[in-house]
Structure 1
Amino acid sequence: MTTYEDSIRTRLAEWERGLLKQPGLLERTSKSIQTKINEKIPAKIHAALTTAVKGIFSTVLFTLDFVPKSLPQTGLTLQQRDEKAVEVVNTYKKIAAAEGAGTGAGGFALGLVDFPALIAIKMKCLFELAHLYGYSTRDYRERLFLLHVFQLAFSGRDHKVRVYRIVRNWDEVALQYPEGEHALQTVDWEKLQQEYRDAIDFRKMLQLVPGIGAIVGAWANYGLLEELGQTAINCFRLRLLHGG
């Protein structure tokens, strides 16, 4: 084991403790406030978001549209992969911020358009990271893994813990899925959509507020890609260091 890999193992252990610890007062209070805000959002907005989320994920998982043209990277050390991954995430953070600023300035209609567009940006980032760390997204099970990474980044505490245990033991879990596209039928779409909407609603709903939409849109999207990128990098580190 290299010194770099040893330091990454230490950082992963700290990350795991943060994921599994009980929520503090601030987190519980924030969740309570967010729940009250969500209850005041019209049902038609939630319905529109649900439709948008399900539509884009179906495209991501059931087609090859998001699969990078480049082959999975081989022959790189973990440190080299991590350095390249940071560059990839930084690029997508800028793309997401620009997209959020543009739609945020357009009011309610374009604000709703931002939801599926942002998911597409996030998933393109994940697909590219997968190939960078040596995993082919032409494999249905790798796409399922990315879906779990996505949920780990954007879910409530309880669901996040369950998903983390799946991610940590992915090589064993993946063997339980049926082969081919039938594996994708195991996804609990309603749970995924609800967790995602609840995780980002507060920040993204501020984007619909007139006068501040562009600023909030850029800020929210940049931060969301930062969260996703760090989560994905740690998940791929786990797999490589465990020999998966």
Structure 2
Amino acid sequence: MNEYELKVYQEVEEWKRKISRRSGMINRLSKKAQWKINGWIPEKVHEVLTESIKAMVKATLFGSQATTTKDQARGLTLSERDELARRKIAAYQKTAVVEGAGTGAGGILLGLADFPLLLTIKMKFLFEAASVYGFNTKEYEERLFILHVFQLAFSSNEIRRTTLADIENWESRKHDLVEMDWRKFQQEYRDYIDLAKLFQLVPGIGAIVGAYANNNLLKQLGETAMNSYRLRLLQKSPEL
């Protein structure tokens, strides 16, 4: 392991410790409130939401697969891959900020349109990140990994810990993880972003809130994706 890889290894270990820490009291209370609200929602509504998110994500995965530039990592060192990933994160943050400000400025109706638009931006970024780090998203397991990275970025403590364990042991576990738990996937994602995005629906402040929230959500996703792929590369000692 060279000097840069050792530095990255230490950064990844610190990132793992950070995301494994228990959430603050406010976040825990918010999660409990969301659990109560979810309990009041009729089962039929949960089923419709789950199928809607599943269809939306699968359509986005298909579109992202078709438009992602392949072989972006060829001949690059880990340092160069990391630098390219940071440029991608910055670019997608700018796109998300513009989208959030635009839909937020439109009040409730355009604010609701933000959900699928932002989801598309996030998934497209994850396909780009996979390509930057040299993983082939034509393989089903790699598209499944992308969904686990997404879930790791936007979930509660308990789900985050189990998802991190799957990512850390991906090579041994990927063949057992045949399908996502879509109910858990959509509920965790909705619960995570509800508070961040709630005020985006308010005319007058929606644009500011939308831009700020989207910037932070892409930053969170970028950090999660970078470290998830770095973790895999360092575990299998790739030829860089």
* TM class by smaller structure: 0.7 to 0.9
Cα-Cα RMSD: 2.7
Identify the residue that residue 74 of structure 1 maps to in structure 2: 74
Alpha-carbon shift at residue 76 of structure 1 (Å)? 1.3
Q: Give the 5 Å matches for 1:63-102.
A: 63=62, 65-67=64-66, 68-102=68-102
Q: 1:7 aligned to 2:7?
A: yes
- In 2: Cα distance, 1:165 partner to 1:84 partner: 27
Identify the residue that residue 113 of structure 1 maps to in structure 2: 113
Alpha-carbon shift at residue 54 of structure 1 (Å)? 2.8
- In 2: Cα distance, 1:21 partner to 1:115 partner: 28
Identify the residue that residue 196 of structure 1 maps to in structure 2: 189
* Sequence identity percentage: 48
Cα displacement string for residues 151-200 of structure 1 (whole angstroms, at most 9, x for unaligned residues): 000001100101000001111112335xxxxx4xx221111000000000
Letter matched to residue 203 of structure 1: A
Cα displacement string for residues 87-135 of structure 1 (whole angstroms, at most 9, x for unaligned residues): 0000000000000111111111111111011000000000001001000
Cα displacement string for residues 63-99 of structure 1 (whole angstroms, at most 9, x for unaligned residues): 3543413335222111110011000000000000000
Identify the residue that residue 180 of structure 1 maps to in structure 2: none
- In 2: Cα distance, 1:40 partner to 1:64 partner: 35
Indicate conservation of the 8 Å contact 1:122/1:228, yes or no.
yes
Indicate conservation of the 8 Å contact 2:31/2:191, yes or no.
no
- In 1: Cα distance, 2:93 partner to 2:40 partner: 30
Identify the residue that residue 216 of structure 1 maps to in structure 2: 209
Q: Could you tell me the TM-score, scaled by structure 1's length?
A: 0.86
Letter matched to residue 221 of structure 2: L
Indicate conservation of the 8 Å contact 1:104/1:217, yes or no.
yes
- In 2: Cα distance, 1:155 partner to 1:176 partner: 21
Q: Give the 5 Å matches for 1:41-80.
A: 53-61=53-61, 63=62, 65-67=64-66, 68-80=68-80
Alpha-carbon shift at residue 23 of structure 1 (Å)? 3.0
- In 2: Cα distance, 1:71 partner to 1:149 partner: 20
Secondary structure class of the residue paired with 1:23: coil
- In 2: Cα distance, 1:170 partner to 1:198 partner: 26
Indicate conservation of the 8 Å contact 1:53/1:119, yes or no.
no
Aligned length: 236
Change in CA separation of 1:108 and 1:40 when aligned onto 2, cut-off 3 Å:
farther
1:226 to 206, 210, 219: 219
Letter matched to residue 210 of structure 1: P
- In 2: Cα distance, 1:8 partner to 1:205 partner: 36
Identify the residue that residue 104 of structure 2 maps to in structure 1: 104
Identify the residue that residue 242 of structure 1 maps to in structure 2: 235
Change in CA separation of 1:102 and 1:64 when aligned onto 2, cut-off 3 Å:
closer
Letter matched to residue 146 of structure 1: I
- In 1: Cα distance, 2:47 partner to 2:200 partner: 18
Letter matched to residue 120 of structure 2: A
Secondary structure class of the residue paired with 1:66: helix
Indicate conservation of the 8 Å contact 2:73/2:132, yes or no.
yes
Identify the residue that residue 174 of structure 2 maps to in structure 1: 174
Change in CA separation of 1:48 and 1:91 when aligned onto 2, cut-off 3 Å:
farther
Indicate conservation of the 8 Å contact 1:49/1:115, yes or no.
no
Identify the residue that residue 150 of structure 1 maps to in structure 2: 150
Q: Could you tell me the TM-score, scaled by structure 2's length?
A: 0.88
